Amino acid sequence: MRRERPPRRTAGRPPRRSRPHPHRTGRGLPGLSTTIERIAGYRAGLERHGLPFRPGLLAEGHSEARGAEDAVHRLLDSPEPPTAIITANNAMTIGALRALRTAGLSVPDDLALVCFDDFSWADVFSPGLTAISQPSREVGATAVRLLLERLENPGRPPRTVRLPCAFVHRTSCGCVAEALDRPLPGTPGIAGKDPVS
């Protein structure tokens, strides 16, 4: 029996506004489809903005807080420490924040931070956490719908459903909101919580 691919947000193409400035990222679980797609999106964003891809700027965090904390410490100890970090999930964001606090660094003054995924208390942090938000409820509802369709018609070919994500600008990225509201060269304008793909 062929397996249905789970629905997910547009992981391979992160929001265009998060692409130009974060140069480093905490990677999640190696081999996981979302990890692979996020790295591909990261590389595409660098290419779009004429920035070189340097594999040493990716740090394994194993999708957990402690792993991200260790990864950020390794990045900070590298010969060229990061100016920005993109975390792969909420737990990794907490780990990254712990590492930055331990190192005595301030977000966004010393280092920019963008997290994937948005969470209900991201705006409580100081500064508020800039996030790439995915439609979690819609992901779940789509997964159930695909499962029911598969049960009704087991012979139906598998398909991939991509759902839009949104860039939620707060202050941790260090960007001025007005600058983000201007379209990037070669991209449509994206403002506030508009969905992007």
For the chain, what are the domain ranges? 8-196
Cα–Cα distances in angstroms (integers) from residue 63 to residues 27, 42, 60, 178, in the given order: 7, 17, 8, 33
Cα–Cα distance for residue pair 67/131, rounded to 1 Å: 20
CA angle 155, 161, 163 (to 5 degrees): 160
pLDDT in tens, the chain (197 residues): 444 444 444 444 444 444 444 434 444 455 677 788 888 888 998 899 999 988 888 888 888 999 999 999 999 999 988 899 999 899 999 999 999 999 999 999 999 999 988 888 888 888 999 999 989 899 999 999 999 999 999 999 988 888 888 989 999 999 876 555 554 444 444 334 434 43
Which CATH code for domain 8-196? Answer: 3.40.50.2300
